[in-house]
A and B are shown apart, each in its own frame.
Chain A
Amino acid sequence: MILLSYATAIIIFCIGLYTIMVRRNLFKTVLGLALMESAVLLIIVSSGYIPGGVPPIAPFSGQAVNPLPHAFTLTAIVIGASDIALALAFIVKLHRHYRTVDLDRIRGLRG
Chain B
Amino acid sequence: MSLSFMIFLYVFLIATALVISAINDILSAVITLSVFGILLATAFAILQAPDVALTQAVINSGIVTALFLVAFSQTEKPECYSEEEEE
Contacts and interface: CB of A to CB of B under 8 A. Distances in A.
Interface of A: 1, 4-5, 8, 11-12, 15-16, 18-19, 23, 25, 27-28, 30-32, 34-35, 38, 41-42, 45-46, 49, 53-55, 57, 65, 70, 73-74, 77-78, 81, 84-85, 88-89, 91-92, 95-97, 99, 101
Contacts of B26: 25, 27-28
Q: Is the interface of B mostly helix, strand, loop or mixed?
A: helix
B47 A5 contact: yes
Interface of B: 3, 6-7, 10, 13-14, 17-18, 20-21, 26, 29-30, 33, 36-37, 40, 43-44, 47-52, 55-56, 59-60, 63-64, 67-68, 70-72, 74-75, 79, 81, 86
A46 B14 contact: no
